[in-house]
Amino acid sequence: MQKDPVCGMMVDEKKSRFTSMYEGKSVYFCSNMCKTNFDKDPRRHIHK
């Protein structure tokens, strides 16, 4: 399970249809809306 960086929901990476690549890593989302928001400004959602 991975945490959706936009909404915080836990996502099963094996079942998620919504993914993006960021700094060489796969990022998983619960919905297309979260993926779209992330893709607009990834740094806003990634907490280092």
Domain borders along the chain are: 2-45
Specify the pLDDT at position 48.
47
- pLDDT tens across 1-48, in order? 999 999 999 999 999 999 999 999 999 999 999 999 999 999 999 864
As a whole number of angstroms, the distance between CA 48 and CA 33 comes to 23
Residue 47 phi/psi, 5-degree rounding, is -105, 115
- In the chain, % helix, strand, coil (3-state, to 5) comes to 25, 30, 45
Q: How far is CA 45 from the centre of its chain?
A: 9
pTM exceeding 0.85: yes
Residues with Cβ within 8 Å of 12's Cβ and at least 6 positions away in sequence, in order, are 1
